[in-house]
Amino acid sequence: MTTAAQEAELLARVVDGDHDAFTEIMRSHEDRVFSVCLRIMGNREQALDATQETFLTTFRKARQFKGNSALGTWIYRIAVNTCYDQLRKQKRRKTDPMPEHLDPADYSAEDAVDAAGVRPEIQDALGAIPEDFRVAVILSDIEGMGLPEVAEVLDIPVGTVKSRVFRGRRLLAKELGNQSV
Amino acid sequence: MREHELELIAALAEGRLEDESEARAIIASSAEARAEFDAQKKAIEALADVGTASMSDTERSALRRDVWTELRAPEPAVGSGKPWYYRWMPVAAGMLVIIGLVAVVSQGGGLGGIVTADEAASETTLADTETTQAMAEELDGGDEAADGAPITEEPTDGEGESGEDGDLGQAVPPAAAAFYAAVADDIRSGEETEPQTRALETPSPSELAECLAEAGLEGYEVQDVNPAPDEGDREVPDAAVPYVAAIPVDADRTTTEVAFVGLETCELIHIDR
């Protein structure tokens, strides 16, 4: 049985109310969803919230999955959109959109690595570049997705992904330069 | 720098070129190309040791527990939240009382007029109360009622209450209303059929849908988005705020009402009809 067929069967079981099937999907994707959310949000607590929301949405929209992309790609797209939503809500609430270092959520930092698991200067530099570029760079250069997969996740053309990644790196380098890293 | 050159430079920085000669030649050919290569390489190296993150066991357990708790919780009744017009009800009631008083005084005058005005006010208040109760009952009555778009749920049985949008219209200054009317006309004439995007500030479609839902406009579709009103040669009044304009999904475009929702607040700010 192909992976796509397995995924389709799993989702069909979820739609039929099979909780074990959904648990299986969660187990397969929760770490990567969390990782994507953590890099985008820059804060463990917010990333956990976004991860939870992602799986709730996945469950509720399971019926809408058409199988045009891999299940993982679909879930990461939900994750990215969830993070975008949460970032926008933060802006609406006029709170600081960027992470606080050493967030206390189950994190025992003992060195100069912050709650996002990234050196603070890198997290700060990532946080300083515009959202769209940041997300493209995160998916490509941190999560290791190929450009076509990034394009699928973000639902934009591959050429746009390239442009965002290249420009994002350029801006990141500039920010790192400003921080004299 | 051309796209092909940029791609070669990025590929060189990523270390995935078998034959680096062309890329190296490009870098050697200009300071700009050299700077681009340095920037790409610096960013890639900085991110190289970041790696993917994972949850702790505690976080993982909490996540699974919270997801299942949420999924097993009974779904809240659709539309159980108070719709936007609830907040306008006291204002509408007050305005009806005033309108009733003014109408009676202007017709009758004198002490008798005042007495009549009191009665009229009482009747109007009663009518308004009945309308309010009817709306509340409609909301409490089940999902079907709550699913309806609130714009169409304005009171229809109360004479003189057809100004639900009129109240909203008065809520924005005339200059802003005129501006929104002009935008609405563009939408009706098909000149604003695509959301006006601004790459970095435009909300995503899901955010816009959420914003419309927050404003009580479920069943509406986005027609125009302006994070910062800037309509080219059209003068934008100071009172106009960043907005998303939407119309009912199945409406006749040429005659439809156009609702404007503030992007910052996700509150209904104006309806042009």
Question: Per residue in A10-21, pLDDT tens?
Answer: 888 999 888 899
Cα distance between residue B237 and residue B231, in whole Å: 11
Nearest to B242 by CA among B209, B210, B211, B206: B211
Cα distance between residue B206 and residue B214, in whole Å: 12
Tokens found for residue B104: 């009676």
Partner-chain residue, chosen from B36, B52, B70, that has the shortest CB–CB distance to A32: B52
How much is the pTM?
0.54
Q: Write b or e for each residue in A119-138: b if 16 or more Cβ atoms lie within 10 A of its Cβ, otherwise e.
A: bbbbbbbbbbbebbbbbbbb
pLDDT-derived band of residue B1, with 50, 70 and 90 as boundaries? confident
Q: Which residues of B touch A44 (CB under 8 A)?
A: 59
Mean pLDDT of chain B: 70
Distance from CA of A173 to the nearest CA of B (A): 5
Predicted pLDDT of residue A94: 55
Which DSSP category does A140 fall into? I
Amino acid at A143: E
For residue B271, the surrounding DSSP H or E stretch is strand B268-272
Average pLDDT over residues B18-25: 90
Nearest to A31 by CA among A62, A55, A58: A55
Angle at B253 between CA B250 and CA B255, to 5 degrees: 110
Query: Could you tell me the CA-to-CA distances from A108 to A44, A51, A113, B47 in Å, in that order?
Result: 12, 21, 10, 22
The partner residues of B262 in beta bridges, in order of sequence, read B243
The B residues from 207 to 226 touching A (CB cutoff 8 Å) are 207, 210
β-strands B220-226, B243-248 pairing: antiparallel
By mean pLDDT, which of A54-63, A108-117, B54-63, B116-125 is the weakest?
B116-125
Contact check, Cβ <8 Å, B44/A169: yes
Average pLDDT over residues B199-217: 74
- Contact, A112 vs A119, CB < 8 A? yes
State whether the Cα torsion B116-B119-B125-B127 is positive or negative.
Answer: negative
B273 touches chain A (CB under 8 A): no
- Contact, A39 vs A126, CB < 8 A? yes
By mean pLDDT, which of A115-119, B159-163, B233-237 is the weakest?
B159-163
In the block, tokens 């509408």 appear at: B92
- Contact, B79 vs B144, CB < 8 A? no
pLDDT-derived band of residue A99, with 50, 70 and 90 as boundaries? low
Cα distance between residue A126 and residue A128, in whole Å: 5
Side-chain-facing half-sphere of A142: CA atoms under 13 Å: 30
Q: Using DSSP, state whether B245 is helix, strand or coil.
A: strand
- Contact, A110 vs A144, CB < 8 A? no
Cα distance between residue A107 and residue B155, in whole Å: 54
A115 touches chain B (CB under 8 A): no
ipTM of the complex: 0.81
Average pLDDT over residues B70-93: 64
Average pLDDT over residues B141-145: 34
The B residues from 103 to 162 touching A (CB cutoff 8 Å) are none
- Contact, B128 vs B154, CB < 8 A? no
Distance from CA of A142 to the nearest CA of B (A): 6
Contact check, Cβ <8 Å, B43/A181: no
Cα distance between residue A71 and residue B111, in whole Å: 76
Contact check, Cβ <8 Å, B204/A85: yes
The A residues from 21 to 60 touching B (CB cutoff 8 Å) are 23, 26, 30-32, 34-35, 38-39, 44, 48, 51-52, 55-56, 59
Predicted pLDDT of residue A148: 94
- Contact, B261 vs B268, CB < 8 A? yes
Q: Which residues of A touch B43 (CB under 8 A)?
A: 137, 141, 168-170, 172-173, 176
The partner residues of B132 in beta bridges, in order of sequence, read none
State whether the Cα torsion A64-A67-A68-A70 is positive or negative.
Answer: positive
Contact check, Cβ <8 Å, B42/A168: no
Higher pLDDT, B163 or B53: B53
Predicted pLDDT of residue B212: 87
pLDDT-derived band of residue B111, with 50, 70 and 90 as boundaries? very low
Cα distance between residue B9 and residue A132, in whole Å: 22
Residues sharing a CB contact under 8 Å with residue B221, sequence separation 6 or more, in sequence order: B246, B247, B248, B249
The dihedrals phi and psi of B257, each to the nearest 5 degrees, come to -75, 155
Predicted pLDDT of residue A113: 53
Predicted pLDDT of residue B144: 34
Cα distance between residue B212 and residue B194, in whole Å: 17
Contact check, Cβ <8 Å, B53/A39: yes
- Contact, A170 vs B40, CB < 8 A? yes
Cα distance between residue B216 and residue B222, in whole Å: 14
- Contact, A65 vs A86, CB < 8 A? no
Angle at B88 between CA B85 and CA B89, to 5 degrees: 90
Higher pLDDT, B86 or B50: B50
Partner-chain residue, chosen from B46, B55, B264, that has the shortest CB–CB distance to A122: B46
Predicted pLDDT of residue B255: 84
In A, minimum Cα distance to B208 occurs at A85
Average pLDDT over residues A50-70: 90
